[in-house]
Amino acid sequence: MKPFVVRSLSRLLIACLMLMSFGTASAGMIGVDQLSASVGATTDRAALMTILARGDVQSQLQAQGVDPSAARERVAAMTDSEVSSVMGQIDALPAGASSNNGWYWGAAVIVAIIVWYMWFS
Amino acid sequence: MVQLIRARFANARLAAGVFICALLPGCALVIPQTSQLHDTWPEGLAQHAEVEGVPFFPQEELLCGPTALATALAAAGAHVTPGDLVASVYLPGRRGALQVEMLAAPRTRGFVSYRLEPRLEDVLREIAAGNAVVVLQDFGVWPFHLWHYAVAVGFDRDRGMVVMRSGTHERQAAPFGALEYTWKESGYWSMVVLPPGRVPVTANEARYLEAVAAAARVSGAKAAALAYEGLLERWPADVGAAVGLANVRYGSGDLAGAEKALRSGLERSPSATPLLNNLAQVLSDEGRNDEALRTIDAAQRAPGPFAAELAKTRDTILERMGKAAAK
């Protein structure tokens, strides 16, 4: 129970701090991100949701072994839509990793398909 | 088995055979884009090209994400090695790098990353224009995936080959069909990384604006301004870029520069509400409240989705005018 309360409270505090900083940054000027966004996407509620999503993705990166300060920077470099596209999926999305000799396997599959095509049709 | 295939593929004639395979109707289903390229070579596209000055970093175990990205970034003029990027894109728990992070990491270094349309033709066009292209391939056989990032740097139509920096190979030649087949599973995902101001030749206006805006959030004012200026050079009537450029200048205290960007945007789109609103704000900050009020009045004739912002700006102007009158 306690960790949940602490976690919720800290999330709320982070959100408040970030909302405050947004407020001062955009004084009176309409931003580029507001142009394509549908009406309502720039409401405080939506802003709050994206901030919480950023916090979630950051802790998901940390769970994958990224250190906390790097995780914060990495989430900061993503756009809101990128954040929501990876949220909750970090363990399932494609992660380029293999060393490269594998392409021969790809080629092997193609050869197999050609052989199959010529043999059976 | 692998040795055997490797030996066979050393034979260029057989390798070209995979390209020729596009002649067979069945292959058109497996590698439709290669088949299409074989039938009709895109107009205006060179027969062969190779990007010059692309460095080669031999890949260390599992680090193809940082390696591919460092290759593309260094080709675009950044001083960076794969080791520098490990902390930015590598995910220890996944032993790999996510596509989103490959796109996000260059932004903090002042570069603009752009995901290409899922077309082999666009990859070739970028290479012909001198831009190295990062591609995400899958070497796995269903149901297993074996994701791998490589950098396409050249192609040759006659030989039917693409040249890539891939893993420990500096110039790996792969038939068009082999690249397409291994590339398919990622939804033909590829990206370019370019210095701000240099627009990818295949860029789409709306998507490139998104890419620049994404970079501008974290790249610093100088890089952001350059990126918006490059966008405006290609698409002078882009309202978003005019707004973005003005906001960057406004953010760094350059009111005159912001005004200039907004006015030149208004020359082409005289009734664009965001431009009028922001111009009114800038004019008011410059102490020209009468002019600001006229501008915001013009904007309020067709507020579109920005009625709330316009009303707020108008209140600010009136408040400042009231204060000035009271003095």
Residue B199 covered by a domain? no
Residue B200 covered by a domain? no
**Residue A92 above 50 pLDDT?**
yes
**Residue A12 above 90 pLDDT?**
no
CB B152 within 8 A of CB B119: no
* Same domain? B48 vs B120: yes
Give the model's pLDDT for residue B217. Answer: 93
Residue A23 covered by a domain? yes
Block residue for tokens 């192609």: B155
pLDDT band at residue B169 under the 50/70/90 scheme: very high
* Range ranked top by mean pLDDT from A6-10, A87-91, B288-292: B288-292
Block residue for tokens 């579109």: B304
Distance from CA of A94 to the nearest CA of B (A): 6
Contact residues, A window 16-35, toward B, CB-based 8 Å cutoff: 25, 27-35
| pLDDT tens column, B109-133 | 999 999 999 999 999 999 999 999 9
Please answer yes or no on whether B178 and A97 come within 8 Å at the CB atom.
no
Mean per-residue pLDDT, B65-89: 96
Residue B45 DSSP label: -
* Same domain? B20 vs B154: yes
Mean per-residue pLDDT, B44-71: 93
* Same domain? B153 vs B227: no
**Residue B319 above 50 pLDDT?**
yes
Chain B residue numbers touching A97 (CB-CB < 8 A)? 62, 64-65, 94-97, 147-148
Peptide bond into B143 cis (omega under 30): yes
Distance CA B256, CA B234 (A): 23
- Which structural domain range is residue A21 located in? 2-93
Nearest chain A residue (CA) to B187: A94
| Tokens coding A99 | 């060393």
B145 touches A at CB < 8 Å:
yes
* Residue-wise burial string across A24-41, b where 16 or more C-beta atoms lie within 10 A, e elsewhere: eeeebbbbbbbbeeeeee
Please answer yes or no on whether B281 and A27 come within 8 Å at the CB atom.
yes
Contact residues, B window 264-293, toward A, CB-based 8 Å cutoff: 273-274, 277-278, 281, 284
Distance from CA of A33 to the nearest CA of B (A): 7
Chain B residue numbers touching A117 (CB-CB < 8 A)? 24, 26-27
Please answer yes or no on whether B105 and A77 come within 8 Å at the CB atom.
yes
Query: Which among B291, B287, B284 is positioned nearest to B316, based on CA atoms?
Result: B284
Query: Which among A58, A43, A44, A46 is positioned nearest to A11, based on CA atoms?
Result: A58
Mean per-residue pLDDT, A71-98: 90
Residue A69 covered by a domain? yes
Q: Tell me the CB-side half-sphere exposure of residue B238, using CA atoms within 13 A.
A: 27
Pairing of strands A95-96, B96-98: antiparallel
Residue A67 DSSP label: -
Mean per-residue pLDDT, A78-97: 89
Does B151 or A13 have the greater pLDDT score? B151
* Same domain? B30 vs B172: yes
| pLDDT tens column, B190-205 | 999 999 999 999 999 9
Distance CA B40, CA B34 (A): 10
- Which structural domain range is residue B231 located in? 205-326
Please answer yes or no on whether B178 and A61 come within 8 Å at the CB atom.
no
Chain B residue numbers touching A30 (CB-CB < 8 A)? 243, 273-274, 277-278, 306, 309
Residue B57 covered by a domain? yes
Please answer yes or no on whether B97 and A70 come within 8 Å at the CB atom.
no
Residue A118 covered by a domain? no
CB B190 within 8 A of CB B135: yes
CB B206 within 8 A of CB B238: no
B111 touches A at CB < 8 Å:
no
Per DSSP, the three-state class of B250 is helix
**Complex prediction ipTM:** 0.84
Measured in residues, chain A has a length of 121
Per DSSP, the three-state class of B163 is strand
A44 touches B at CB < 8 Å:
no
B256 touches A at CB < 8 Å:
no
CATH of the domain at B170: 3.90.70.10
Give the model's pLDDT for residue A42. Answer: 57
The pLDDT > 90 percentage for chain B reads 80
Residue A74 DSSP label: H
Distance CA B67, CA B73 (A): 10
Mean per-residue pLDDT, A30-39: 75
Chain B residue numbers touching A32 (CB-CB < 8 A)? 209, 213, 216, 240, 243-244, 247
Residue A110 covered by a domain? no
Query: Which among B1, B33, B36 is positioned nearest to A112, based on CA atoms?
Result: B1
pLDDT band at residue A103 under the 50/70/90 scheme: low
Peptide bond into B196 cis (omega under 30): no
* Same domain? B17 vs B62: yes
Give the phi and the psi of residue B41 in degrees, each rounded to 5: -70, 135
Pairing of strands B190-194, B169-175: unpaired
Report how many domains make up chain A.
Answer: 1
A9 touches B at CB < 8 Å:
no
Q: Which residues contact A119 (CB under 8 A, 6 or more apart)?
A: none
Does B13 or B282 have the greater pLDDT score? B282
* Same domain? B172 vs B236: no
Give the model's pLDDT for residue A45. Answer: 76
Residue B175 DSSP label: E
Give the model's pLDDT for residue B187. Answer: 96
Please answer yes or no on whether A64 and B281 come within 8 Å at the CB atom.
no
Average pLDDT of chain A? 76
Residue A53 DSSP label: H
Cα three-residue angle B46-B48-B52, rounded to 5 degrees? 105
Residue B160 covered by a domain? yes
Mean per-residue pLDDT, B211-230: 96
* Same domain? B172 vs B216: no
Report how many domains make up chain B.
Answer: 2
Residue A21 covered by a domain? yes
| Tokens coding A91 | 């363990």
Mean per-residue pLDDT, B130-157: 91
| Tokens coding B307 | 């009625």
* Same domain? B177 vs B30: yes
